[in-house]
């Protein structure tokens, strides 16, 4: 039996690392945070998460769906309609990353001040 107990993000090759990277990926964070408010259709999400390409959005959603964070509901209508929402597991993840995102938004001035100080002493 292989080592399945005690996942550790500090160990290279630990499955937890890949999951963490999905959740903290550039677009993964923003998608999860968006879906925390409400469910979105593909193109809605694409407009909401400014700058994401179709390709990356599809890729991000697939990874999150496969990991059990996102639920994909494709209705067999014409034109097609696909709704994305969070699973209970995804909601937990989304709360954590959305908390981080909101904290960052709130601390932008502090970071900019730190950068100004850093750049000042380093020139």
Partner DNA sequence: CGGTATCCTTTACGATACTG
Partner DNA sequence: CAGTATCGTAAAGGATACCG
Closest contact distance (angstroms) between CB of 1 and its own copies is 14
120 near its own copies (CB under 8 A): no
Name the binder of 79 from DNA, its own copies, none, CB < 5-8 A by kind: DNA
Among 2, 3, 10, 75, contact with its own copies (rule: CB under 8 A) = 10
DSSP string over 20-80: HHHHTSHHHHHHHHHHHHS-EEHHHHHHHSTT--HHHHHHHHHHHHHTTSEEEEEE--SS-
Nearest CA-CA partner of 92 in 7, 5, 19:
19
Name the binder of 65 from its own copies, DNA, none, CB < 5-8 A by kind: its own copies
Q: What would the two tokens of residue 118 be?
A: 């850093």
Closest contact distance (angstroms) between CB of 1 and DNA is 29
105 conformational bin, left if phi > 0, alpha if psi -120 to 50, beta if neither: alpha
- Binding residues for its own copies, rule: CB under 8 A, are 4, 7-13, 15-16, 19-21, 23-26, 29-30, 33-34, 48-51, 65-68, 89, 92-93, 96-97, 99-101, 103-115, 117-119
């Amino acid at each position: 039996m292989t080592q399945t107990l005690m996942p550790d993000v500090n160990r290279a090759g630990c499955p937890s690392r890949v999951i963490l990277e999905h959740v903290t990926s550039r677009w993964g964070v923003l998608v999860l945070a968006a879906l925390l408010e409400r469910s979105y259709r593909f193109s809605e999400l694409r407009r909401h998460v400014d700058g994401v390409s179709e390709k990356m959005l599809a890729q991000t959603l697939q990874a999150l769906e496969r990991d059990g964070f996102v639920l994909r509901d494709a209705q067999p209508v014409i034109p097609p309609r696909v709704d994305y929402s969070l699973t209970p597991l995804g909601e937990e993840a989304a709360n954590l990353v959305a908390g981080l995102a909101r904290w960052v938004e709130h601390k932008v001035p502090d970071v900019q001040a730190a950068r100004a100080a850093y750049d000042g002493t380093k020139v």
